[in-house]
Chain A
Amino acid sequence: MFASIVTISLAAILTNNFIFSQFLGICPFLGVSNKMSTATGMSVAVIFVMTMASAICWVINEFLLIPFGVAGFMQTVAYILVIAVLVQFVEMFLKKAIPALYSAMGIFLPLITTNCAVLGVVLLNTQNSYGFLESVIDGFTGGIGFTVAIVLFASVRERLEFADYPKAFEGFAICLVTAALFALAFMGFSGMKIPV
């Protein structure tokens, strides 16, 4: 049990990083990584939503979709609705409880619904037939992996402003090339395993 949890965490954070090796969540990754403060705010929200979504979707799949025999064609629809509702709740809760954080996150909160890392982690949990604890761990560490990637990238991107690159590469193009170098670096982690 312990070994499988460590393996899942290690894969989600380093060897199978959601952004640099699975290409999930690229849009918010490029969209909010231009400032360190927004990057960290977004990451915290994503960790929370990914963990909660993994837990709730597992319960729904196990106790609603499978017993009623509709798992085959209702999964995607059910999952995306759960995520949308969850994001809405988080938004309402933050607005009441921590208004400062709410206003700091602004537009990024609703955008988490269309973050493919969130739906991706839930679908992958189902595909790998993870148990409840494994799903939650995968969601949480997947969020950590997202955070690692986006914070590292934001710190590099702040320096990109002073770099001298061809004019045609302005905007997302240079970011993608930078991300390519990151992906190359993260490839160094592949093959890392916990001996069982």
Chain B
Amino acid sequence: MNAKKQLTEGLITNNPVLVQQIGLCATMAISTSLFNGIGMGLSVLIILTCCNVVISAIRKIIPGQVRLAIFVVVIAGFVTIVDLLLQAFIPALSSALGVFIPLIVVNCIIIGRAEAFSSKEGVFLSFRDGVFQGLGYTCVLVLMCLVRELLGSGTIGGGLLNGASSFITLDGTGAGFRIIPEGFGAGALVLPFGGFLTLGCLMAVMQYALRKSNEKKARKEKEVKE
């Protein structure tokens, strides 16, 4: 399995959120500003990569019956580490994401990759898988945040970019760049309603695109045969 194939799988053809359709709770809950989106995405990326490496390294000594319990303990350990690090170094992010950081423990993406990939493959492959699947997750989060933030509150990069001096801030106070004048945004998109709607539409777009590309591929193969 080469790196390029793994990368396309993580980002597009086997994207954890849009194609495997797992780990939806946090995706919808926190994608209200770019700051949250990137923070959550990177946290999951780091935890997923660490868990993949550890589980892959000990895969031969894990007894089959209790493997899920062991996965959960490994994951809970890394989640706690990241949680405490965020509390110490980026408190604004920690309070913005709230309960969704400890909830990464039950995020199906991580336990799903452990069960489907890293408990079967080697350490290096699992490491790459963690990075690429995490990247796929981050991309979807960023996309959701951009759509919801732009249409909902009319800004880009809220919390992360400081509109006035365009410096990156990590204390969550950046106002972001205002694209749509204040009061003209569709406020409902920032509410829970917008989370469901945006993710539903993104999934539909993805399904449409994948079907079109599959049809195109099939047509090409047919032409080659003829």
List chain A positions with a Cβ less than 8 A from chain B: 20-27, 30, 72-77, 80-81, 84, 113-116, 119-120, 123-124, 127, 166-177, 179-181, 183-184, 186-187
Contact = CB atoms under 8 A, between A and B. Distances in A.
Contacts of A80: 72, 76, 105-106
Given A76-B76, A116-B103, A174-B200, A27 B24 contact: yes
B99 A123 contact: yes
A124 B83 CA distance: 15
B193 A184 contact: yes
B108 A173 contact: no
A75 B87 CA distance: 15
Nearest to B195: A23
Contacts of A167: 211
B117 interface: no
A187 B192 contact: yes
Counting chain B residues whose Cβ lies within 8 A of the other chain, the interface size class is 35 or more
Contacts of B29: 22-23
A183 B25 contact: no
Contact of A168 (B26, B28, B105, B204): B204
A95 to B, nearest CB: 16
B188 A168 contact: no
Q: Is the interface of B mostly helix, strand, loop or mixed?
A: helix
Interface string B12-51: 0000000001101110110000000000000000000000
Interface in B71-101: 72-73, 76-77, 79-80, 83-84, 98-99
Most buried by B among A173, A175, A177: A173
A119 B103 contact: yes
B3 interface: no
B31 to A, nearest CB: 10
Given A166-B204, A173-B201, A73 B84 contact: yes
Q: Is the interface of A mostly helix, strand, loop or mixed?
A: helix
A156 to B, nearest CB: 13
A177 B196 contact: yes
Nearest to B207: A168
Contacts of A21: 192
Contact of B80 (A73, A124, A169): A73
Contacts of A172: 21, 200, 203
Contacts of A174: 200, 204
Interface string B166-187: 0000000000000000000000
Given A76-B102, A183-B193, A26 B28 contact: yes
Contact of B207 (A73, A115, A171): A171
A76 B200 contact: no
B73 to A, nearest CB: 7
A68 to B, nearest CB: 16
Contacts of B203: 171-173, 176
A192 to B, nearest CB: 16
A27 B83 contact: no
Nearest to B26: A23
B11 interface: no
